[in-house]
Structures are given as structure tokens and as C-alpha cells.
């Protein structure tokens, strides 16, 4: 399976498939295609699996596109301005993603909900208690708000991040939430009450413009009636 990502802040993803190759996405995730495809919509993992996906920001049903001929191309576009990230996952290798960031994946990849380990992270993390766990083998694609910054954390190395800017992190990275220290910082710092702590080893992908921040900024400019 080959793919091509084009564009800058309004990117699109072309996936080139030969006969018998397949990808799956949430319902309504496909933008257009050319060539021959067999399209099937179902609930992988049964109702409980579908409900778990809904809690993690995806749809109850998933749609699988299987190419019926060599050289078919199916195109996907993100729901908001941002970037598309591709990850090749080995068998059993997982990546943790923010809610609603999963875009499309090669058949064989598993999409599940993922609970944050600590209650503090769930209650105050800014992106909800439930994240997404995507497990290989196969290639998975994610839509990230704004631009992407990638970091490689060594063992025990830490980063502190505004929780809304966390897009993806490898399952080897631990994730926790802590309250900002200092009364003045809390009251006048303008950065919120909590920061996320990411501890290596593993890779971390941060997003420059969380959709929630963009929505809040737009809402602040709308005159009240």
C-alpha cells in the first residue's frame, strides 16, 4: 500500500491500493475515489466495541474500502485545518491519540478506546477521560490540528505541555496531569490550571492549534445579542 500527502494547512491523503488491499475509516470519512472499490459498513468488535469507539470520538460504524483492481486511489481529507500524520505500526505496537484524531488505517490495524490511567489526567486533561489506542500491524493515519512538532523523549525525560496541545504519543510514554504551582500563576498566568507531564521513553507529537482553542477564539469575537 502506497500513500501521498499533499497540501499545507488544508492537506489531503491519497492512498493507492492494488487488488485485494483494503483500508477502513469512520463513516463519512472518505472524500473521493477512482477505480473499483467494494465498500462495506459494519460494527467491528460488536456493539460494545462500537460504543467504545464512539466514546473516543469516532463513529459507531466503520467503513472498509477494498480495491477490486490494481491502481485504485481513495482520498481522505481532515475535518479541520491541520496536518496529516502517518505511522507504520509493528504487530502489537500501539500509539495513543487524542479523541477524534484517527483518520484511516490499513486493514489489520485495531482501533479501541483508551482510558487515561490516572483520574487526575481524566478529569483535568482538557481532552476528556477517554483517548484512542491504535494497534498494529499496519499503517494508520491521523489528523492533527494545526502544524505538528515531533519530539523523541529519552528514558525518564519529561515534557510539560498544555493538555490541549497533545496529539499523539507512543504507548511507552507515561502521561499525567499536575496543577500549576503558585497562586499568582494560577490566577494571572493565562495558561489554565493544569499542565500535562509526558515522560519518556518514546515519541510525542504536539499540535500547534487545538481545535478547542480555535473555536474559543472565534466565539470570543462573535457579538452577543
Selected from 3.30.930.10, 3.60.160.10, 3.40.50.1000, 3.40.30.10, the CATH number assigned to the domain covering 2-220 reads: 3.60.160.10
| Burial zone of 107 (CB within 10 Å; 0-12 exposed, 13-18 middle, 19+ buried) | middle
For residues 168 and 63, what is the distance between their CA atoms, to the nearest angstrom? 23
Supply the pLDDT for residue 221.
82
Q: Residue ranges of the chain with pLDDT lower than 50?
A: 46-48, 50, 53, 55-57, 119, 121-128, 182-190, 192
Q: Which residues of 25-56 are buried (b: 16+ CB within 10 A; e: fewer)?
A: bbeebbeebebebeeeeeeeeeeebbebbebb
Cell 496543577, located at residue: 179
Supply the pLDDT for residue 190.
46
User: What residues contact residue 194 under an 8 Å CB cut-off, 6+ apart?
Assistant: 124, 125, 126, 163, 177, 178, 179, 180
Supply the pLDDT for residue 121.
45
If we measure between CA atoms, which residue out of 102, 9, 30, 42 comes closest to residue 72? 30
CA distances from 212 to 5, 63, 117 (A): 25, 27, 23
For residues 109 and 52, what is the distance between their CA atoms, to the nearest angstrom? 16
For residues 130 and 142, what is the distance between their CA atoms, to the nearest angstrom? 17
CA distances from 65 to 61, 96, 101, 178, 183 (A): 13, 24, 19, 43, 54
For residues 133 and 123, what is the distance between their CA atoms, to the nearest angstrom? 19
If we measure between CA atoms, which residue out of 73, 78, 66 comes closest to residue 29? 78
- pTM more than 0.85: no
Reading the block at residue 26, the C-alpha cell is 469512520
> For the chain, what is the radius of gyration of the CA atoms?
19
Supply the pLDDT for residue 45.
54
Reading the block at residue 131, the C-alpha cell is 483517548
Supply the pLDDT for residue 105.
96
For residues 75 and 30, the answer to whether their CB atoms sit within 8 Å is yes
Supply the pLDDT for residue 60.
63
Supply the pLDDT for residue 114.
74
Amino acid at each position: 500500500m502506497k500513500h501521498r500527502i499533499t497540501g499545507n494547512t488544508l492537506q489531503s491523503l491519497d492512498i493507492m491500493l492494488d487488488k485485494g488491499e483494503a483500508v477502513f475509516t469512520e463513516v463519512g470519512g472518505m472524500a473521493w475515489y477512482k477505480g473499483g472499490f467494494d465498500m462495506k459498513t459494519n460494527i467491528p468488535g460488536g456493539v460494545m466495541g462500537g460504543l467504545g469507539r464512539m466514546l473516543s470520538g469516532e463513529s459507531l460504524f466503520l467503513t472498509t474500502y477494498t480495491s477490486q483492481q490494481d491502481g485504485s486511489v481513495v482520498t481522505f481529507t481532515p475535518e479541520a485545518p491541520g496536518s496529516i500524520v502517518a505511522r507504520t505500526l509493528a504487530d502489537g505496537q500501539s500509539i495513543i491519540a487524542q479523541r477524534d484524531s484517527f483518520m484511516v488505517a490499513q486493514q489489520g490495524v485495531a482501533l479501541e478506546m483508551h482510558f487515561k490511567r490516572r483520574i487526575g489526567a481524566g478529569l483535568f486533561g482538557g481532552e476528556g477521560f477517554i483517548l484512542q489506542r491504535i494497534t498494529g500491524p499496519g499503517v494508520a493515519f491521523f489528523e492533527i490540528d494545526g502544524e505538528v512538532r515531533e519530539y523523541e523523549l529519552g528514558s525518564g525525560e519529561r515534557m510539560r505541555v498544555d493538555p490541549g496541545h497533545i496529539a499523539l504519543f507512543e504507548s511507552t510514554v507515561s502521561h499525567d496531569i499536575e496543577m500549576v504551582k503558585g497562586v499568582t500563576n494560577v490566577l494571572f498566568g493565562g495558561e489554565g490550571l493544569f499542565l500535562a507531564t509526558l515522560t519518556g521513553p518514546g515519541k510525542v507529537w504536539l499540535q500547534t492549534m487545538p481545535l478547542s482553542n480555535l473555536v474559543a477564539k472565534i466565539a470570543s469575537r462573535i457579538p452577543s445579542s
